[in-house]
Chains A and B, each alone.
Chain A
Amino acid sequence: MSEIYMPRLSDTMEEGVISSWVKSVGDKVASGDVLVEIETDKAVMEYEAYEDGYLVKQAVSEGDTVPIGAVIGYIGDSPDAAPEESGGGAAEQSGQAEQAAQAEEAEQAPPAGEDSPQPAGGAAEPQAAPAAQDGDGAQQGTRPRSSPLARRLAREYGLDIEAITGSGPKGRVVRADIEAAAKQRQDGAAPAQQPAAQAPAAPAGRGQEAYDDGRASTELPVSNVRKVIARRLTQSKQEVPHFYLRRTIDAEALKAFRGQINEQLESTGVKVSFNDLIVKAAATTLRAHPEVNTSWVDDKLLQHGRINVGVAVAVDAGLLVPVLHDADKTPLSEIATRTRELAGKARDGKLKPQEMSGGTFSVSNLGMFGMDSFSAVINPPEAAILAVGAMRQQPVVRDGEIVARNTIALELSVDHRAVDGAVGAAFLKDLAEVLENPMRIIL
């Protein structure tokens, strides 16, 4: 019987939410199977079993939050093995978790747009941290023994330490093993030691000499944020049939409107950006077009009652999308301050899961980088994302005359499963009109 602990899945993670159990109690589990999906401060991540057996207990039910190191389940040798729990605390905790599990039985995870419900029992008590695993009697994981130096060198060489046979005591991988593997790779020998998936993707035709001249491809460390971006955006482009709608707006009125607003707000220190105006305009327009504020999930079309607008923020670690909940009901000045606050937290890695979840629509703005326009990838399960380009002075024909006007190019990426072309076009048309008559943003 082995305990499964809440893992640390990101540098800043302190606790995790059981997003959903992929394996049910009694299921056979093989090492490498996805056991459970865990929501961290950054994202929802899959967590795999490290050994074979049966999931004999889910100690924490879906939706519950527990700290890192708390027991979340047990894997046993047979489907009906009883978990060996020690002490009243643990028993009490799993008792609570069991009740919660019954209460939520058969309940589908909440749709995007809804905040996760707080479990009635509150967060479970933390368990003692897992015992050190280096002793002889420690649990047998699949992680091979390795010295710290070997692990560091493996990272530097871009080698998968798990694919290397250790020659040290009890199979510990040591420096000599890593250097031998690196040399083998350099010599082009023994590909079995080096799975193709792990080798850095060197351009074809550049083999050994690429290694020698110090200009070879190297594998960079990958953050959890980057892994999540890779997985979710791949999923989006593979599963979501995108179509794109483009519209350039005349931004003269918007510019003047922004000037007026910021004049009024001057004493408060709040400054409203064009992006704030666009977020608010999108939220206002979504209220009139609820068919765009939807999600296609598991062959079901969900229409969201709340309008929660995500704002893409570039941070060192990658891309984060903090969410302005109920943006349609939030005053413009508050959207401005809240966006600033969330962007700051995103840069500091301090966004809480609830501040990044529940989005129903997103806005991505690359205008500050001078982009004319671009096509954004939808952030599932949202049905659309608005890509905003830079404000540009353009020659425009007005009343038969060519005049210079400030314009902004908008491009809406839409999930065709949830929203058809005409519906999306009607939304973007209205949004453009709101932005060209900006008083409507706040009406």
Chain B
Amino acid sequence: MSVITYRQALRDTLRAEMHRDENVILLGEEIGVFEGSYKITEGLLNEFGERRVRDTPIAEEGFVGAAVGAAMLGLRPVVELMTINFSLIAIDQIINHAAKIYGMFGGQNSVPMVIRTPGGGGQQLGATHSQNIELFYAFVPGLKVLAPSTPAEAASMLRAAIRDDDPVLLLENLGLYNTKGEVPDDDESVAEIGRAAVTREGSDITLIGYSRMAALGTQVAEALAKEDISVEVVDLRSLRPLDRQTIVDSVKKTGCAVVAEDDWLTYGIGAEIAASIQEGAFDYLDAPVRRVAMAEVPLPYAKPLENAALPSTESVTTAIKETLSAVGKRVG
């Protein structure tokens, strides 16, 4: 077991998968000579050469489309989109091609490609470079969307994504790249796609999140444990397919829930979670499901405003305490 960063876990896994399967190739902007904007592909051009690590022009629609074609012909391309914001230029290739080809052509061709891309605000990158628009893809049947929140999950989910025969979007997060966690040495675990996890057991309330919000949720739960509040944390891990059962089972146990999401509230992923809870656990709910999300504004650049717009440990903690207060539990 070694403690490594989320970034390192992704890089090590990419390298290992390229050794394991020569059909795994990488495409993206600045991933070769520059070794990636966030250094996920560090050293890989040197090790595997230009044939398998391709620097592309700044033309997302083009190279995502090229990856769709390569995948149809038997390769397992892993595309890096520098941030999820740039996926908007390639969205037609992703939604109308990658997601549709298997079904529209009677299963003649699967599209075993991976799009790795980070989301996340809080880096003062301005409104166009700070969005969390993974729900655009989580909305579309034919795609799979994974969102690891720890280094170990980043490794096992990237492995699962590369080995899966369908197009998978692996959502990374700018705020998580430098976080550290334990990853087993010689780890070969492959995450089960479509499975959420109870990452911390608790009995008073269920806190549901994914990616940065799952990591933040664990911190909040640890802090509240000192106030004798027992928070169960559910990390969604897979936005599509969505593991409703794990969510519902947890809410059946605790009777109330807070959903923390890094996207906008209206039509956000929290809305889907809240709907799933009332469908699956209506008779177990002791309070309305509470959502904590980003302010409904283009994310400001100014640091105090950016902080104010994003969900935080404070806003999640407040939502938990208010919900617990509504069900008659003492809160500090």
| A positions within 8 Å CB-CB of B | 147-152, 167-169, 172, 174-177
Contacts and interface: CB of A to CB of B under 8 A. Distances in A.
Contacts of A167: 328
A177 B327 CA distance: 9
A172 B283 contact: no
B48 interface: no
19 contacts: A147-B285, A147-B327, A148-B285, A148-B286, A149-B255, A149-B286, A151-B283, A152-B283, A167-B328, A168-B287, A168-B326, A169-B326, A174-B286, A174-B326, A174-B328, A175-B328, A176-B328, A176-B329, A177-B328
A150 to B, nearest CB: 7
Interface of B: 255, 282-287, 326-329
Contacts of B326: 168-169, 172, 174
Contacts of B282: 148
B327 A168 contact: yes
B290 to A, nearest CB: 12
B101 to A, nearest CB: 43
B319 to A, nearest CB: 14
Contacts of B285: 147-149
B81 to A, nearest CB: 42
Contact of B283 (A149, A169, A176): A149
Nearest to B251: A149
A176 B284 contact: no
A148 B284 contact: yes
Given A148-B282, A174-B286, 18 more contacts: A147-B286, A147-B287, A147-B327, A148-B283, A148-B286, A149-B255, A149-B283, A149-B285, A152-B284, A167-B328, A168-B326, A168-B328, A172-B326, A174-B287, A174-B326, A174-B328, A175-B255, A176-B327
B331 to A, nearest CB: 13
A150 B255 CA distance: 10
Among all A-B residue pairs, the 8 with the closest Cβ atoms: A176-B328, A149-B286, A152-B283, A147-B286, A175-B286, A174-B327, A148-B285, A167-B328
Nearest to B282: A148
A244 to B, nearest CB: 48
Contacts of B287: 147, 168, 174
A169 B287 CA distance: 9
A149 B328 contact: no
B281 to A, nearest CB: 9
A152 B282 CA distance: 10
Nearest to B322: A169
A18 B329 CA distance: 47
Contacts of A152: 283-284
Contacts of A168: 287, 326-328
B294 to A, nearest CB: 25
Nearest to A151: B283
B283 A175 contact: no
A152 B327 CA distance: 15
A92 to B, nearest CB: 37
Nearest to B329: A176
B328 A150 contact: no
A421 B326 CA distance: 67
A30 B235 CA distance: 52
A71 B285 CA distance: 31
B247 to A, nearest CB: 16
A164 to B, nearest CB: 12
A55 B226 CA distance: 58
B205 to A, nearest CB: 12
A168 B306 CA distance: 34
Interface centre among A151, A168, A172, A175 (most CB of B within 10 A): A175
A168 B323 CA distance: 10
A172 B285 CA distance: 12
